[in-house]
């Protein structure tokens, strides 16, 4: 499923929440806080059929820390999928996470 995700699919979803399910069954919501293209500094063209690389950032709920890992996500329109996220920044009492798509 992730192979069909594109930056354009997420551009209009900034501010929406995706539900993350922990292995224990507990769920929490992450807010999609940003979508950005990943620039190819070599200037190489993408091979036909390959998507443009992009990154998603998510803001977690207050006081929640998660290690980098693959988590099960659910979204009303996008469905259910597994996604690897990495904590990249702490702002106040919230962590920001990132997912990279190449």
Q: Kindly write down the DSSP assignment for every residue of the chain, as one continuous string.
A: -GGG--HHHHHTTTT-EEEEE-TTS-EEEEEEEEEEEPP-TT-PPPPTTPPPPEEEEEEPPTT----SEEEEEEETTTEEEEEEEEEEEEETTEEEEEEEE-
pLDDT(48) > 90: no
pLDDT digits (tens, 9 = 90+) for 67-88: 999 999 999 999 999 999 999 9
pTM: 0.88
Residue-range definition of the domain harbouring residue 45: 2-101
Q: What is the pLDDT of residue 52?
A: 87
Looking at the predicted structure, is the pLDDT value of residue 43 above 90?
no
Domain count of the chain? Answer: 1
Inform me whether the pLDDT recorded for 100 exceeds 90: yes
* pLDDT at residue 42 in the model: 57
Q: What does the pLDDT read at residue 62?
A: 94
Compute the distance between CA of residue 81 and CA of residue 86 in angstroms, rounded to an integer: 16
């Amino acid at each position: 499923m992730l192979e069909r995700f594109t930056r354009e699919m997420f551009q209009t979803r900034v501010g929406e929440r995706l539900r993350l399910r922990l292995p224990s069954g507990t769920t929490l919501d992450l807010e999609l806080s940003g979508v950005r293209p990943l620039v190819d500094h070599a200037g190489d063209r993408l091979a036909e059929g390959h998507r443009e690389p992009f990154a998603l950032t998510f803001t977690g709920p207050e006081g929640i820390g998660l290690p980098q890992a693959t988590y099960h996500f659910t979204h009303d329109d996008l469905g259910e999928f597994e996604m690897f996220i990495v904590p990249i920044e702490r702002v106040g009492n919230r962590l920001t996470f990132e997912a990279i798509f190449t």
